[in-house]
Chain A
Amino acid sequence: MDTARRQWIYAWLMLSPAMAFLILFTHYPAVQTILNSFYSTPRGRREAVWIGLDNYQTLMLDDVFWKVLANNFWYAVWTIPLSIILSLAMALWVNDKIRGRGFLRMAYFTPTVLPLIAVANIWLFFYTPGFGLIDQIRGLFGLPEQNWMGSPDTALYAMIAVAIWKEAGFFMIFYLAALQTVSPSLKEAADIEGASRWYYFRRVLFPLLMPTTLFVSINAVINSFRLVDHIFVMTEGGPNNASSLLLFYIYEVAFDYWDTAYAATLTVVMIAILILLAIGQFFLFDRKVHYK
């Protein structure tokens, strides 16, 4: 009994510093965000007043919000599957006895350690109409100049390409770590049975990698809301919000227009989406994940 009591005290003492910071900078602001979405933005001497669902009404009628939400949807729809597929391919290649394995691994992983804000400058040049690298290569084939970031049709896709390039190598590491734990006897057995490489991948490897895929896909979902640094440098959300994403819009509303109550409302929407997606993923993967 006495040791049990002592364990409680020890546990609480060890836990409390981390919990204090966690509550101060995660739980308290999350709750505060929800509360503030029901108040008006305090301006000058005017205090914030309770306005009920007014902010949410503004949100429903805000064309920019819907535009940004749609953009974020497409951003997620492209970046999540593509970065997962690429990272899996990378991991399978690098895990194999391929020529130049060390170099390949380095090449794939490098974007992870480069600051997104810094590489945005380089990509900015690639996309520059006329003398940017992409247009120069297109020029060799006689294709016309294209303003990748200035045109509403392509600006978002230009951002998507950068995001995939940035995150795929990071996800590769997780797949690589998982592949290392797969017993080589499985591959030998498959070879004896005469199974093709594709069959082995589909029926043996892929199911074994399911927990990793769940982990990676949750990270990819979170990244599809969080990776916005390059937008600050490359397009600032333009042209006409064609490449703006939810977090970038929250930043603009909060720190360019200083409408903090409306920014809180937008944040509530973002948190709600993240929670729904996380729950959805657990259900989606539930029956397919085999933990040891």
Chain B
Amino acid sequence: MTYDRLLNTAAAWMLALFWLLPLAYAVWTAFHPAAYETRFDLLAPLTLQNFAQAWSEAPFARYFLNTMILVTGIVAAQFTLCTFAAFAFARFTFPGKSIMFALVLMQLLIMPDILIVENYRTMSQLGLIDTIAAIGLPYVASAFGIFLLRQTFMTVPKELDDAARVEGCSYLGILWRVYIPLAKPTFLAYGLVSVSHHWNNFVWPLIVTNSVETRPLTVGLSIFAVTDSGIQWSIINAATLMTSGPLLIAFLLFQRQFVQSFMRAGIK
């Protein structure tokens, strides 16, 4: 029994260290001079020079701004659209409901990520190529969000709903005062997944953007890493850490809430 336990603990730790290795390595090179890229010396001098250099060599400030605008825009739009749609599915009976729901679920399988050719055509017809809106629009009506919120809304006790109706609450009032407050953990979990998904998204932004004013961090980083290819891992890794930094720090700070909100949201 204890032998079994020991073996499991050892395996769990080995895997964890292996899983952290890429990040640990990036941190090592980013904070040390280039000479220590492959030499691991505990007394190696620390430096922030790599970050300074990466920051000055590409318009990362602008990329950050673009990503921030993109992610806030998408999450705000998703919350609004998906909440109304989910409420309609959870609370009302209306003709065509099941067909509509099937149409929504289809997007779980056929995601905007694979419809790049046609969505590019649509964007150019709308004159939106190379805008931040174009990066976000295909994702604002999210089937995952609608499904998740509908599941949560369906668990709201009918009695609460009825009580609010008796008090003279309108449908919008019920949604705002009863359903949304009860679904807070789901909103948090969904919001976090959505933020990390769109912060990290790459292929579609690469396709629809072609200027500094619109490019998000991921695309900016890929261009930076290519122009710099062959030289100085330490600078590329500093840039890599910068782009993932805010998300990583946010995750480390809110780790517990993150995992718990997932569990409470009943995503299983």
Asked if B268 CB lies within 8 Å of chain A CBs, one says yes
Residues of chain A within 8 A of B247, CB atoms compared: 113-114
Q: Known: A110-B23, A260-B117, A278-B109. Is A131-B225 also a contact (CB below 8 A)?
A: no
Tell me whether A11 and B109 are in contact (CB under 8 A).
Answer: no
A207 → chain B closest CB, angstroms: 15
CB-nearest residue of chain A relative to B192?
A113
**Complex interface bits, A19-47 against B, C-beta within 8 A gives 1, otherwise 0:** 11111111111101100100000000000
> Which residue of B11, B26, B115 contacts A29 across the interface (Cβ within 8 Å)?
B115
> Which residue of A10, A105, A112 contacts B171 across the interface (Cβ within 8 Å)?
A10
> Which residue of A125, A176, A222 contacts B111 across the interface (Cβ within 8 Å)?
A222
Residues of chain B within 8 A of A104, CB atoms compared: 12-13, 16
Residues of chain B within 8 A of A224, CB atoms compared: none
B216 → chain A closest CB, angstroms: 10
Asked if B53 CB lies within 8 Å of chain A CBs, one says no
> Which residue of B95, B103, B118 contacts A22 across the interface (Cβ within 8 Å)?
B103
Tell me whether B110 and A119 are in contact (CB under 8 A).
Answer: no
Residues of chain A within 8 A of B113, CB atoms compared: 226, 247
- A63-71, A75-83, A177-185: which lies at the B interface? A177-185
Q: Known: A115-B199, A121-B237, A176-B263. Is A250-B22 also a contact (CB below 8 A)?
A: no
CB-nearest residue of chain B relative to A133?
B25
CB contacts under 8 Å to B, within A116-150, are 116-119, 121-123, 125-126, 131, 133, 136
Asked if B257 CB lies within 8 Å of chain A CBs, one says no
Q: Known: A19-B103, A115-B217. Is A232-B115 also a contact (CB below 8 A)?
A: no
Q: Known: A18-B85, A21-B81. Is A222-B109 also a contact (CB below 8 A)?
A: yes
B26 → chain A closest CB, angstroms: 5
Tell me whether B110 and A229 are in contact (CB under 8 A).
Answer: no
Tell me whether A264 and B94 are in contact (CB under 8 A).
Answer: no
Q: Which of A24, A126, A212 has the most CB atoms of chain B within a 10 A radius of its CB?
A: A24
Tell me whether B114 and A226 are in contact (CB under 8 A).
Answer: yes
Asked if A152 CB lies within 8 Å of chain B CBs, one says no
Residues of chain B within 8 A of A114, CB atoms compared: 23, 200, 244, 247-248
Asked if A238 CB lies within 8 Å of chain B CBs, one says no
Complex: A96 Cα to B80 Cα, angstroms: 38
CB contacts under 8 Å to A, within B88-132, are 88-89, 91-95, 97, 100, 103-104, 106-122
Residues of chain A within 8 A of B111, CB atoms compared: 26, 222, 226
> Which residue of B16, B84, B89, B237 contacts A17 across the interface (Cβ within 8 Å)?
B84
Asked if A93 CB lies within 8 Å of chain B CBs, one says yes
> Which residue of B12, B115, B141, B266 contacts A33 across the interface (Cβ within 8 Å)?
B115
Asked if B82 CB lies within 8 Å of chain A CBs, one says yes
Chain B positions within 8 Å of A, measured between CB atoms, are: 4, 8-9, 11-13, 15-17, 19-23, 25-26, 38, 80-82, 84-85, 87-89, 91-95, 97, 100, 103-104, 106-122, 137-138, 140-141, 143, 146, 171, 196, 199-200, 202-203, 206-207, 217-218, 221-222, 225-226, 233, 236-237, 240, 243-244, 247-248, 251-252, 255, 259, 262-263, 265-268
Instruction: For the complex of A and B, list the 5 residue pairs with the smallest distance between their C-beta atoms, beginning with the closest.
Output: A29-B118, A21-B141, A107-B16, A18-B85, A11-B92
